[in-house]
Structure 1
Amino acid sequence: MFWRDTWTIFRRQMILSLRNPAWVLIGLMQPIMYLALFGPLLQRVAEVPGFPPGDSWKVFVPGLLVQLGIFGGFFVGFAVIAEWRAGVVDRMLVSPAPRGALILGRVLRDVVSLTVQGAVLMAVATAFGLSVPAYVFVLALILVAFLGGAFSAFSYAAGLALKSEDAFAPLINMFALPVLLLSGILLPMTLAPRWLQIVSDFNPFKHVVEALRAVFLGDVLTLVTAFGFGLVIALFVLGLWLGARVFSGQVK
């Protein structure tokens, strides 16, 4: 019952996405623009003391993949607000489908979309000069999938709890700035002053970025990598649990 209902929700969401693929392309444009416009600047920045060793693309591309997973997943909450306003969510809630299936089916659609976007992003990065083994591509897509799924679930929970774009948009903006500045997505935190590095240590997404950069640099079996991937999986499980709780709480 659970997996059948999950598949039903997933299939419905995929059909809706395939009917309007513009959102997938729009979500991919921002990281590709960063890649094309900001990436070449890092080739000079890589000569600055404090920049991590290795090819600048192996430092920059992992950050863009994490950015894709976070923000690609976090904006889907707008869709569930529209579904709630149209009465779609209410009709699903009166069905016998498990609440976990209602959230997981949606999240899996977003995971597929973000995984495809991540693969395209790395293909474009390869054209710019990125060169990594095949297993790095696989591990990077796994991390993007779990990270995007986690933020997709959190986004659905927040959207359904707030039920207002006017409240949801400021929430994203409030979250975006510290994530971008304190996770080292665009520039490694090793370039920051010591006090800012200490502050960034409390940002969990900094450790996710560092884990993926370690993978790109060939350091797969390390505590940094294990901690980053473990954190992403934990966020994924927490997001699904929270999303299911919020969906269940909508029943009056």
Structure 2
Amino acid sequence: MTATEIAAVRLPTGGLAHDVRAVKVVLRREMLRFVNDHTRLVSSLAQPILFLFVLGTGLGSIVKNAIPGLDYRTFIYPGVLAMTVITTAMFSAASIVWDREFGFLREMLVAPVSRGAIVLGKCLGGALVATAQGVIILAMAGLVGVPYDPVLIVTLLAEMLLAAFTITAFGTLLAAGMKNMQTFFGIMQMAIMPMIFLSGAMYPLANLPAWLHVLTVINPLTYAVDPMREAVFGHLTVDPQVMALLNPGINWFGWRLPVWFELVIVAVIGFVLLQLAIARFRRTE
């Protein structure tokens, strides 16, 4: 009677290197999904282009006498960039609900990696996808009077990436508890539209009624749009009165927030949302 040899079973080891590899895998999957989904690419660009060239041109014809020497489309351009980023980032987060419906999310959750690595990979992937989508709108800058200055382009790219990461973390937090796509998209629309319209993307933050000023100040997206507008207006030659009207910045009790402080606020919000999303995923079965 011969003894049967039993093959040794090797379990995957954990550790930082294992989690980094998991982040890279999830990130790569997000990028491949974006590249291969041409319908999503086109549909995500339709709304920003309509806002920039159709709505911007229409409203510009009304307010052109109030802002001499400046195209209204130039003013809303930073807001359209932010709109592109936020919409694409939220759609990236929606893939979590899709993966749950088709069972792929369960496979990821039972994998021998930390759930924090899965969430981080998802947020980084969504941020890169949203920024890549924003690059297409960024390439149209010259059509609306925004110069192709290398410093400006790099600054806007960095600010878009930060905003995209924060919004993807927010979307991931929402998606972690959603069971179907219809519910998620309903919540997404309810969250996105107020955030966009209360961020100053389409109108100046100066001379607002008190109640509207309060809403813009507590809206996190305001702190992502304003640095982009500051960057754009910093490369324009504009009459001081027009500058004061269209680019007043964000004020807390008469103190105008510096751009670096606004970016810190966006980064802190993104970090907190990431931690909440990770905690939510750890409770997900």
Match of 1:47 in 2: 65
Instruction: Judge which range, 165-174 or 52-61, deviates more.
Output: 52-61
1:214 corresponds to which of 230, 233, 250: 230
Q: Which has the higher contact order (CA 8 A, sep 6+)?
A: 1
2:216 is matched with which residue? Answer: 200
Distance change in 2, residues 1:3/1:116 (3 Å) = same
Runs of 4+, deviation exceeding 6 Å: none
C-alpha distance in 2 between matches for 1:84 and 1:23: 20
Q: 2:274 aligns with which of 240, 246, 250?
A: 240
Q: Is residue 2:153 matched to residue 1:140?
A: no
| 1:95 alignment partner, one of 111, 131, 135 | 111
> For structure 2, which runs of at least 5 residues remain unmatched after alignment?
1-17, 236-255
Would the aligned equivalents of 1:183 and 1:206 in 2 still touch at CA under 8 Å? yes
2:27 maps to which of 1, 6, 10: 10
1:136-186 Cα offsets, whole Å, 9 max, x none, are 111111111121122112212211212223332232232234223321111
Separation in structure 2 between the aligned mates of residue 42 and residue 130 of structure 1, nearest angstrom: 18
2: distance between equivalents of 1:248 and 1:95? 13
C-alpha distance in 2 between matches for 1:33 and 1:67: 12
Rounded to whole Å, the distance in 2 between the matches of 1:58 and 1:138 is 18
Q: Please identify the structure whose Cα radius of gyration is greater.
A: 2
| Residue 170 (1) aligns with residue 186 (2) | yes
1:62 equivalent to 2:78? Answer: yes
Mapping 1:85-164, distance limit 5 Å = 85-164=101-180
Look up the match of 2:200. 184
> How big is the shift at 1:191?
5.8
Aligned residue for 2:283? 249
> How does the TM-score come out when normalised to structure 1?
0.86
Q: Say if 2:141 and 2:148, in contact at 8 Å, map to a contact too.
A: no
Q: Is the 8 A contact 1:183 1:209 kept in 2?
A: yes
Query: For the Cα contact (< 8 Å) 2:223–2:263, is it kept in 1?
Result: no
- Partner SS, residue 76 of structure 1: helix
Report the Cα offset of residue 113 of structure 1: 1.7
Q: Which amino acid aligns with 1:137?
A: I
Shift of 1:128: 3.3
In 2, Cα distance between equivalents of 1:52 and 1:224: 27
Given residue 78 of structure 1, which amino acid in structure 2 is its aligned partner? A
Distance in structure 2 (CA, Å) of the matches to 1:102 and 1:108: 10
1:26 equivalent among 10, 29, 43: 43
Percent sequence identity is 25
CA distance in 2, matches of 1:74, 1:16: 15
- In 2, Cα distance between equivalents of 1:52 and 1:106: 45
Structure 1: segments with no counterpart, 5+ residues: none
Give the distance between the partners of 1:93 and 1:178, measured in 2 at CA. Answer: 33
Alignment pair present for 1:82 and 2:98: yes
SS at 1:189 equivalent = coil
The equivalent of 2:52 in structure 1 is 35
| TM-score computed with the length of structure 2 as normaliser | 0.77
Work out the number of aligned pairs and report it.
247
Please give the alpha-carbon distance, in whole angstroms, between the structure 1 residues aligned to 2:127 and 2:224. 17
The 1:166/1:206 distance shift into structure 2, 3 A limit, reads: same
Deviations 1:81-119, CA, capped at 9 Å, x for gaps: 111121111111111112122112222222222222211
Q: CA deviation at 1:4?
A: 1.2
RMSD: 2.5
Aligned amino acid, residue 260 of structure 2: A
Provide the C-alpha distance between the structure 2 equivalents of 1:223 and 1:73, rounded to a whole number of angstroms: 26
Kept in 2, the 8 Å contact 1:24–1:113? The answer is no
